[in-house]
Amino acid sequence: MEGQRTITAAAAGDVSVDECRLIRLRTVDDPRGSLTIVEADLDIPFAIERVYHLHGVPVGGSRGGHAHHRLEQVLVAVAGALDVVLDDGASRRRVRLDDPRNGLYIPPGIWREMESFSEGTVCLALASMPYDPADYERDYDDFLARRGS
C-alpha cells in the first residue's frame, strides 16, 4: 500500500501512532443488506495469516494491553463498538471503532488497549503472523524502555 513503511523499519522501534490508520473497507450495499470485503494485500497491506474475533466481552470491559514486535494487525468492530488506545511510547491516540466498514491498521511496535466495549461487540482481528507468544511485549515498562521513552 502506498506510503506504508516496511515491517523492518517499524520493528526497529521508531513507529509512530500516526501510522495507525482507519481503512475504509469496500462495501456492497443492496436492499438485502450490506456486504463488506477484506482482501489481503488489496484492502489491507499484508497477507492474512490468522483471523480471530473477540466476543462476549462484558460491557465496559477491556482487552489487549500489549505490543507486538513484528505482527501487523487490522481490527474491525463487525458488531458493536469499542475504543482502541494506541501508544508509541511518546504519544497516545484513542480511536473509536463503531462501524463495520472501517478497519484499524496497527503496525508493529504500538502498545494497544481495547476499552469501553459496548453490548454485543464482536471485534474481528486480522493478523499478519501465526500466534507466537514470543512476539508479544506485555510489560509496559519494558515497552517504554525498548522505545527509549
Return the number of the residue (9 or 115) whose C-beta is nearest ligand TYD.
115
Q: What is the distance between the alpha carbons of residues 149 and 145, in angstroms, rounded to a whole number?
A: 6
Check: CB of residue 77 under 8 Å from CB of residue 98.
yes
Return the number of the residue (52 or 90) whose C-beta is nearest ligand TYD.
52
Which candidate, 122, 127, 90, places its Cα nearest to that of 105?
127
CB of 26 to ligand TYD, least distance (A): 26
**Would residue 55 show up in a list of annotated catalytic residues for this protein?**
no
CB of 32 to ligand TYD, least distance (A): 32
Residue ranges in contact with ligand TYD by CB under 6 A: 50, 52, 54, 63-64, 66, 131
Which candidate, 82, 75, 76, places its Cα nearest to that of 116?
82
Active site members = 66
